[in-house]
Amino acid sequence: MTREFDFYVVPTPIGNISDITLRAIETLKNVDFIACEDTRTTQKLLNHYNIKTKCISYHKFNEKERIEFFLRELNSGKKIALVSDAGTPLICDPGEIIIEELTKNGFSVTSLPGACAVSTFLSHIPRKGDEYTFIGFMPRKEEQIKELAKKHLLNNLVFYESPERIMKTLKIISIIRPNAQIAIGRELSKLFEEVVYDSISSVLERFKEGIKGEIVCMIYAEDENPLMKDFEFKVKELKNKGFKDKEISTILSTLYNVNKNKIYQIALNTEL
Ligand code: SAM
């Protein structure tokens, strides 16, 4: 038996139209209406599955004004489903504002498991351990990209990127992290799906003519041991400039997101 909710967050396929669950189809058939980013895009999916439920547009430009309408409908006992153009709503797609309002107003909300580019990617690539940081879309400014590449030196950094910008983004990252290992997932679940796992320089070479399609990327965490050698050098330089051990550990841990104590220990053991 399936429990009933007021509001359903429903994932839709990210490329292969068959990647939708039976429960998602059933939910989309049974709710009173479907809030969607682009009604034309969703209508194609609904036609494919013979779903007759009415669609209503809900996107980042009308999110706020739609809230009152949703609250009124829900108060009168209606059930609503939220979908985005592809994948899971709220994962780099609209929905945050409505979920916050519904939660505040005591409505019952559920989210159905389903297609999502980042989870599809992460369950496909070689990985050591469970830790990663997903930042959504990579920012566009060069300085911000460099900052993230430095900050996540010891973390697996996962992001979405457009095909127009990915090569530029990787070139910027390679300035800061020339030895980085990366994985790229392109057109996941589609006909030309491709997953590449290699050094950043090889990936730049491989795709020097450009890269097409939808992309998820991970910059792997650097191995800590060889890095610590580099920090010994940095610590020595800062000591030479007259910085105190505590100052050095604060500066380097802030800049490179490494353990402050480890840097402090290096500083203590470094003689000029
Ligand atoms: N809500 C979606 C999800 O659950 O993944 C993400 C929406 S976001 C606006 C769109 C971005 O997701 C694309 O620019 C791309 O970076 C990534 N993406 C979506 N589908 C993809 C696919 N089939 N393969 C690789 N990346 C994909």
Task: Note whether 41 and 146 are within 8 A (CB).
Answer: no
Confidence class for position 208, pLDDT limits 50, 70, 90: very high
The 10s digit of each residue's pLDDT in 249-266 is 999 888 887 888 888 988
The 10s digit of each residue's pLDDT in 25-54 is 999 999 999 999 999 999 999 999 999 999
Three-class secondary structure assignment of the chain = CCCCCCEEECCECCCCCCCCCHHHHHHHHHCCEEEECCHHHHHHHHHHCCCCCEEEECCCCCHHHHHHHHHHHHHCCCCEEEECCCECCCCCCCCHHHHHHHHHCCCCEEECCCCCHHHHHHCCCCCCCCCCEEEEECCCCHHHHHHHHHHCCCCCEEEEECCCCHHHHHHHHHHHCCCCEEEEEECCCCCCCEEEEEEHHHHHHHCCCCCCCCEEEEECCCCHHHHHHHHHHHHHHHHHCCCCHHHHHHHHHHHHCCCHHHHHHHHHHCCC
Mutate to test the pocket of ligand 1, among 111, 214, 218 (most ligand atoms within 8 A of CB): 214
The 10s digit of each residue's pLDDT in 188-204 is 999 999 999 999 999 99
| Domain limits, the chain | 7-115, 118-219, 228-269
Tell me phi and psi for residue 195, to 5 degrees. -125, 125
Q: What tokens were used for 3?
A: 């429990």
95 C-beta closer than 6 A to ligand 1? no
Q: What is the maximum alpha-carbon separation in the chain? A: 76
Q: How many angstroms separate the alpha carbon of residue 118 from the centre of ligand 1?
A: 7
84 C-beta closer than 6 A to ligand 1? yes
Tell me how long the chain is: 272
Q: How many angstroms separate the alpha carbon of residue 90 from the centre of ligand 1?
A: 12
87 C-beta closer than 6 A to ligand 1? yes
225 pLDDT higher than 80 = no
Q: How many angstroms separate the alpha carbon of residue 138 from the centre of ligand 1?
A: 13
What does the pLDDT read at residue 32? 98
90 C-beta closer than 6 A to ligand 1? no
59 pLDDT higher than 90 = no
In the predicted model, what is the mean pLDDT of residues 172-180? 95
Question: Whose alpha carbon is nearest atom 8 of ligand 1?
Answer: 92
77 pLDDT higher than 80 = yes
Q: What tokens were used for 5?
A: 């909710």
What does the pLDDT read at residue 78? 97
Q: How many angstroms separate the alpha carbon of residue 234 from the centre of ligand 1?
A: 39
Question: Whose alpha carbon is nearest atom 2 of ligand 1?
Answer: 87
Amino acid letter for position 199: S
**Domain 118-219 belongs to what topology?**
3.30.950
Report the predicted TM-score, pTM, of the whole model to 2 decimal places: 0.87
**CATH of segment(s) 7-115:** 3.40.1010.10
Task: Note whether 216 and 14 are within 8 A (CB).
Answer: no
The 10s digit of each residue's pLDDT in 96-142 is 999 999 999 999 999 999 999 999 999 999 988 889 999 999 999 99
Q: What tokens were used for 104?
A: 């505040």
